[in-house]
């Protein structure tokens, strides 16, 4: 098996700690421990014995997570090392060579790379920029065959920040039922809806062959904990746990204890409110900046998540533009090429405001230089 290069992650890993302004992050400015735990909780954490935790996640943590998904229980939850491991385990345990995976694009390209490397036939259906990043479900219907094993979506979407309408979700469920296919829903950006709507809808509870992936890295601003999870039917979770035994075995016991606190209702509410405020503030600033360059940029406002996917009209490839910004201005952005879409860039909007605005001002310098050339 040959693994294809994961360009998005490799690019970020190479450069994110070597530039002055990293605008690639799709999450929110991280918390520190003192901001989310009181002294008694910190003292309890400091007295924790650093042994192996329960490999599928502590009972307390799995029960706390299950409370986020109506009619689920702790045995329908598997705690993983970030949502990346959750994605890997799910694809590895469910998809076999010659199966077909119908995948929403654009998307975080991990599932694309994993499935291709496993010999799975990946058939993309697209969100359309000209339709405000809504999907063409007739296209999806045409792609489904008797070999379709899974329909995978990212909702809210990375990199566009789009959210599927409820009617579209029901239509996707109906198509999955007809094909007896799994729905795999990456919902790691749920909880930070910035368009004024209620909390993001979930595929959980709509269909019995649904698996939901989530974690603490993005909406919760706690990427360093490396806590993700899968919610699904008990039989699937039991099997996925077996695959987890062959990957990382377990998540860290310290991270599990902190996550159990974070996901309790009151603290969870406070964390998500803080993060929504940061995203709304920076999105407002970014919108004003983009509107100063109407001849260059087109965009659809994200409805959730920590990023904006921006279309540009410049005579420069997106990878080359990202390289130019990195080398000349020490600013890192994600090239649209990482999503198979040139003439786009993804900007993260979750950093501290002054840092974010300084990064934008340096991008602005490059735009002025490109206009003159």
In DSSP terms, 183 is beta-bridged to 151, 210
**How many C-beta atoms surround the C-beta of residue 69 within 10 A?**
18
Dist CA 2 CA 168 (whole Å): 35
CB atoms within 10 A of CB 284: 12
pLDDT tens per residue, range 296-350: 999 999 999 999 999 999 999 999 999 999 999 999 999 999 999 999 999 999 9
| Per-residue model confidence (pLDDT) at position 260 | 98
Predicted local distance difference test score (pLDDT) of residue 10: 80
pLDDT at 150: 98
> What confidence score (pLDDT) does residue 211 get?
98
SS3 call for 127: strand
The pLDDT score that the predictor gives to residue 42 is 98
DSSP of 246-269: TTT----HHHHHHHHHHTSHHHHH
> What pLDDT, on the 0 to 100 scale, is given for residue 108?
93
* Confidence at residue 7, expressed as pLDDT on a 0 to 100 scale: 78
Assign a CATH topology to domain 7-32+268-367: 3.90.1150
Q: How many CB atoms lie within 10 A of CB 199?
A: 11
Class of domain 50-264: alpha beta
137-143 long-range contacts (CB < 8 A, ≥24 apart) are 137/168, 137/171, 137/172, 137/175, 140/102, 140/172, 140/175, 141/175, 143/102
Is there a contact between 333 and 297 (Cβ–Cβ < 8 Å)? no
Structure tokens at 52: 């192996």
Spell out the domain ranges in the chain: 7-32+268-367, 50-264
> Residues of the chain whose pLDDT is less than 50?
none
């Amino acid at each position: 098996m040959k693994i294809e290069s994961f360009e998005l992650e490799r690019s970020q890993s190479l450069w994110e700690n070597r530039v002055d302004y990293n605008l690639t992050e799709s999450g929110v400015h991280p918390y520190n421990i003192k901001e989310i735990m009181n002294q008694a909780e910190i003292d309890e954490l400091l007295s924790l014995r650093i042994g192996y935790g329960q490999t599928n996640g502590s009972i307390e943590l799995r029960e706390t997570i299950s409370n986020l998904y109506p009619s689920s229980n702790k045995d329908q939850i598997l705690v993983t090392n970030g949502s990346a491991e959750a994605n890997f385990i799910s694809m590895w345990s469910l998809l076999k060579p010659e199966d077909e995976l119908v995948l929403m694009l654009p998307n975080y390209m991990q599932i694309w790379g994993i499935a291709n490397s496993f010999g799975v036939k990946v058939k993309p259906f697209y969100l359309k920029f000209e339709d405000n990043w809504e999907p063409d479900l007739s296209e999806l219907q045409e792609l489904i065959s008797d070999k379709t094993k899974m329909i995978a979506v990212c909702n809210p979407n990375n990199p566009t920040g789009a959210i599927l309408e409820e009617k579209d979700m029901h239509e996707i469920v109906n198509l999955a039922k007809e094909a007896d296919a799994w729905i795999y829903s990456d919902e790691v950006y749920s909880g930070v809806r910035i368009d004024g709507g209620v909390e993001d809808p979930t595929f959980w509870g709509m269909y019995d062959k649904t698996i939901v992936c989530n974690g603490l890295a993005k909406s919760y601003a706690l990427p360093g904990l490396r806590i993700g999870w899968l919610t699904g039917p008990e039989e699937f979770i039991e099997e996925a746990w077996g695959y987890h035994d062959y990957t990382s075995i377990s998540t860290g016991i310290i991270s599990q204890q902190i996550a159990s606190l974070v996901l309790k209702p009151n603290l969870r509410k406070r964390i998500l409110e803080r993060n929504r405020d940061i995203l709304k503030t920076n999105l407002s600033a970014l919108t004003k900046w983009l509107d100063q360059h109407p001849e260059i940029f087109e965009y659809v406002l994200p409805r959730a998540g920590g990023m904006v996917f921006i279309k540009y009209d410049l005579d420069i490839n997106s990878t080359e533009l990202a390289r130019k910004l990195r080398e000349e201005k020490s600013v890192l952005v994600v090239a649209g090429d990482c999503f198979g879409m040139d003439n786009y860039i993804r900007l993260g909007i979750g950093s501290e405001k002054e840092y974010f605005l300084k990064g934008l001002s340096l991008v602005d310098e490059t735009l002025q230089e490109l206009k003159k050339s």
